[in-house]
Structure 1
């Protein structure tokens, strides 16, 4: 059994086809098929069901897949450890985010790590909050950046990098613009502008409304907090957002008094520890450069 055979096997399983796997591996399709057949002969069992339009794993293939992935990961890890001990860090790290506020210099963070470790490839992906947490816990993403609205799920550690009061913003001709503060209960019947369901900001708002016995009437959603302020400026509703997101917008800002809510954003990583030396260095770099609250 060769590592190349395991690599081809994993690629076909993930791509659900020999042609797509060959394109991903940059090799000829007949070569992939031949290596998989050789692997099946060595194991004495078929790994793929080729009877349909798409290639599917057999029960034996499903059982073998995690071991094949583990073997390939072990080889990558061994190479990275050797590189690290030689003073040369290599590998690949992935950071995921829901949205990144301008108060965090993410481009500078990534560029700084790249300068220090040019042998490490960096990927940045945008995911919805639920998918991001799942990806970090599973190890598909090394580091996540997302709002938090409650306790962290099991399997994660975090560093709070943003902690701000939530405020209410309205257009200057709104009746609320005559005051300087507002209670959340006063917004019971008002159309609201808020972050999407599942985000930390939305969770904080919904939990606070539930404690007061009502559900928020959210008319408009946007993942970028500053966009919420722009919607409010156009008279589309009352926006609830972090204090910094209201800066520079042509709106009237009100303090949210009862209850006083806060919006937090956290840097998240696996509690078990990163999966590679490159990920270890990347997490340490991010924690050092970003603020801690």
Structure 2
């Protein structure tokens, strides 16, 4: 079928008349009439019935209009997508993240993004979850990625993009690392090394302990996950850390995961944005990469 004939048909059907269709398409009414007639002859079906000054779709016309609506909507989407890509020669991407996704998940994706769109300035701000959420509310960030629970603020939209597992880790030569079975009480008796209050990992641990009616001894507190890993490896205490964070050290043999079912916590990593913010072309392009790279690891 001739795409130009379909466009004319779709416009006439949308306006239920030739006059407004001619105005929109910037062609004469006789030209429209000829093209509609040619389309009807090609299909072997009548598409319109004329009653007075108005035209109405026949059954065949209604069927065709259903499909032309889909066709031209998709064409419009394609045009907009290509315009967005054309506009990605320059711009700015403002992304926030809590510590785990910011340091251990997003950099690889941001590296891909920079290769594809070298003209886009990328700004990644890493802080604890509460501070990131506040910056979203104040429109200081376009999107953010946080692990664990987010504040139930009506202005923030949250979507789960992948999952993380929090596990107990010790030094490789820690006494608990040599045991095949470790009781919860043994772990709780150890000195813990944790992030500062307000970090999503610490909040997750505190919530789990509250449910269990248990307490731990916080021996040290660091604002850096790398500092925590070094302290644990030096046998200064144990910690609860993300699998994303400790994978390399476990493979290298400097840290050991201790399986304690009561203290193994699965949490969501969520994409956050302000519900009133418009998603810019740079953000849309970045989210496409996120969707390609961060498929959920397990079902809810």
TM-score band by shorter chain is 0.5 to 0.7
Structure 1 length normalisation: TM-score?
0.59
Does structure 2 conserve the Cα–Cα contact (< 8 Å) formed by 1:162 and 1:265? yes
* Secondary structure, aligned partner of 1:237: coil
> What do the CA deviations read for 1:41-76 (whole angstroms, capped 9, x no partner)?
xxxxxxxxxxxxxxxxxxxxxxxxxxxxxxxxxxxx
Gaps of 5+ in 1: 1-80
Q: CA deviation at 1:223?
A: 4.8
Aligned to 2:234: 234
Does structure 2 conserve the Cα–Cα contact (< 8 Å) formed by 1:159 and 1:287? no
State yes or no: 1:110 paired with 2:114: no
Aligned to 1:289: 293
- Distance in 1 (alpha carbons) for counterparts of 2:115 and 2:150: 36
State yes or no: 1:254 paired with 2:258: yes
State yes or no: 1:88 paired with 2:87: yes
- Distance in 2 (alpha carbons) for counterparts of 1:227 and 1:85: 42
Aligned to 1:75: none
Q: How many residues align?
A: 211
Structure 2 length normalisation: TM-score?
0.58
Does structure 1 conserve the Cα–Cα contact (< 8 Å) formed by 2:96 and 2:145? yes
- Distance in 1 (alpha carbons) for counterparts of 2:257 and 2:84: 54
Q: CA deviation at 1:285?
A: 2.9
Equivalent residue runs for 1:137-148 within 5 Å:
137-148=137-148
Does structure 1 conserve the Cα–Cα contact (< 8 Å) formed by 2:170 and 2:235? no
Aligned to 1:36: none
Instruction: Return closer, same or farther for 1:170/1:108 CA change in 2, 3 Å cut-off.
Output: closer
Cα RMSD, aligned residues only: 3.3
> What do the CA deviations read for 1:89-118 (whole angstroms, capped 9, x no partner)?
3432211223246653x3442233234334
Q: CA deviation at 1:228?
A: 2.8
- Distance in 2 (alpha carbons) for counterparts of 1:168 and 1:130: 25
Gaps of 5+ in 2: 1-79
Equivalent residue runs for 1:198-237 within 5 Å:
198-225=198-225, 227-237=227-237
Q: CA deviation at 1:265?
A: 3.4
